[in-house]
Structure 1
């Protein structure tokens, strides 16, 4: 379980932000590329002898900046979330490759490895401890803050939310920035596990994250979803990946499995809605 927790922590942290995005009726396809970009920003700072705390802040801000870009495309230019984040997925990945010339960032301090592979009191994996704290934060936001309540309202019926006086644009911007910040932080955990900044990191993560959130009960049409469901969905995805590796299943078949899980989850959601609609 410790191994699964370490492996799935990055996906789960990103899924926390994706949960808010999907509850609000949106989607973010750029998370894998943004994670790589943020990881490169943070590890570049570490390689230049910046403190770890500063590098973590830098990576988190880099992710938040891409979240802001996504939100402005969606709210100001009225581009659909799918198209907007598909564009930033390519832009973030391309910019990451341009900055690094396709080469990894190396010569990182040994202490950096503690973030991704260390233990607290020799028992609790550091990524798991971070995940628990962030999950409580995301859960608190969803349940007890205006941002969470309005996310559900916007995702359920954006027009009704607008007539109710909810500043939709402002809250969508906040939601995407929050999701981007979590993705940026996750990029540093991933880089710590690899002990290098990889410009190709995070490829295909968007599918795994979306699958985790959908398995956890979120609807692609918005208005539904929970933090606990996203965590459970991501952990289940981790168990599937770990079990597949132990059984010697090809990673290519794992991608087929993830795609199939998304299709089945979406189909089940549509069937449930039709039954309720009768």
Structure 2
């Protein structure tokens, strides 16, 4: 009896280490971000100031939210190219609704509805009609981008800051900017859902093998539909965060965000083949892209090089992912 008691404690003690090991990719990305910040800080000391950190976190918030939504689709083995234009359209609809006196709550609902509708369209055409995700979301990308110009004839729309007190850059929690607070809440909720909730694990199962998932009784079509709706909703929510930050909505605001969101997911360790990825990784990928952009601006490098630098980072992430799979 006494001799058998040490075994359970050893197993329990190893559990936290297994949990840490499961996030080794995310830990490596976090370390890379720290090293990148230190490198920029060595050149521009102001980069290591709290003010710059706050600016980076606030600027990263919309991309983090969008990237987490895209992650849910990528985990299922799909892709969502429409998020950038859904972002633009949702922002324009929200601003237009506010200009018509609908109020902050009603306007927010209108903007979020744009994301839900386009997500549902994507999900239906992919999951139930059986069209390729790339084709479907490329079509909805074009439609949403066109509608973003149509609703206001291409003009930008101002957003009255007082009407957006809940989403603006104030602090519901002292010392914590609202945008960052929402990202933290979303991150914890999605990561917990992916790892601990049955529906979250279904996403991984569908992405790993939809046929095997179907044989296990998992509602494959419903899971894919859910992922696309969530992606559209979070793209719209990121637009609300963005327009409350800059107090303005533009029809082209989301143009660069689609590629950045997908890049963040890939940098964060997700495979475009599906079945892998985490919300923490997507967040860190988005943060790395924002840190790169911030560093390029502070150092004084021409902003046109940002895309090249980001592309090289994505290439490095893809190569690391491939080599790590070959080793396994």
TM-score, normalization by structure 1: 0.94
Asked if the contact 1:46/1:109 (under 8 Å) is kept, the reply is no
5 Å matches for 1:167-182? 167-182=219-234
Aligned to 2:180: 128
Asked if 1:149 corresponds to 2:205, the answer is no
Asked if the contact 1:211/1:233 (under 8 Å) is kept, the reply is yes
Asked if the contact 1:6/1:116 (under 8 Å) is kept, the reply is no
Cα deviation, 1:33-84, whole Å, max 9, x if unaligned, reads 0001111111111112222122222211211111111111211222211121
Asked if the contact 1:150/1:171 (under 8 Å) is kept, the reply is yes
Q: Which moved more, 1:250-259 or 1:147-156?
A: 250-259
Name the CA shift for 1:107/1:215 in 2 (closer, same or farther; >3 Å).
Answer: closer
**Higher RCO (CA 8 Å, separation ≥ 6 residues):** 1
User: How far, CA to CA, are the matches of 2:219 and 2:167 in structure 1?
Assistant: 38
Task: Give the ranges of 4+ consecutive aligned residues of structure 1 lying more than 3 Å apart after TM superposition.
Answer: none
Q: Which moved more, 1:111-120 or 1:86-95?
A: 111-120
- Give SS of 1:170's match: helix
Name the CA shift for 1:151/1:97 in 2 (closer, same or farther; >3 Å).
Answer: same
Asked if 1:98 corresponds to 2:150, the answer is yes
User: How far, CA to CA, are the matches of 1:77 and 1:108 in structure 2?
Assistant: 42
Aligned to 1:139: 191
Aligned to 1:62: 114
Aligned to 2:59: 7
* Runs of at least 5 residues in structure 2 that lack an aligned partner in the other structure: 1-52
Aligned to 1:17: 69
Q: Out of 230, 251, 255, which is 2:282 matched to?
A: 230
Asked if 1:200 corresponds to 2:286, the answer is no
Q: Which moved more, 1:100-109 or 1:3-12?
A: 100-109
Asked if 1:119 corresponds to 2:174, the answer is no
Asked if 1:265 corresponds to 2:317, the answer is yes
Aligned to 2:31: none
Q: CA deviation at 1:106?
A: 2.5
Q: CA deviation at 1:96?
A: 1.0
5 Å matches for 1:236-275? 236-275=288-327
User: How far, CA to CA, are the matches of 2:188 and 2:107 in structure 1?
Assistant: 24
User: How far, CA to CA, are the matches of 2:207 and 2:183 in structure 1?
Assistant: 25
User: How far, CA to CA, are the matches of 1:128 and 1:270 in structure 2?
Assistant: 32
Q: CA deviation at 1:186?
A: 0.7
- Give SS of 2:158's match: coil
5 Å matches for 1:32-51? 32-51=84-103
Cα deviation, 1:94-123, whole Å, max 9, x if unaligned, reads 111111111112363534266242233552
User: How far, CA to CA, are the matches of 1:176 and 1:74 in structure 2?
Assistant: 9
User: How far, CA to CA, are the matches of 1:177 and 1:107 in structure 2?
Assistant: 26
Q: Out of 237, 240, 244, which is 1:185 matched to?
A: 237
- Give SS of 1:221's match: coil
Q: CA deviation at 1:263?
A: 2.3
* Runs of at least 5 residues in structure 1 that lack an aligned partner in the other structure: none
Root mean square deviation, CA, Å: 1.6
Name the CA shift for 1:178/1:165 in 2 (closer, same or farther; >3 Å).
Answer: same
Q: CA deviation at 1:217?
A: 1.0
The alignment covers a number of residue pairs equal to 276
Aligned to 1:166: 218
User: How far, CA to CA, are the matches of 2:74 and 2:169 in structure 1?
Assistant: 30
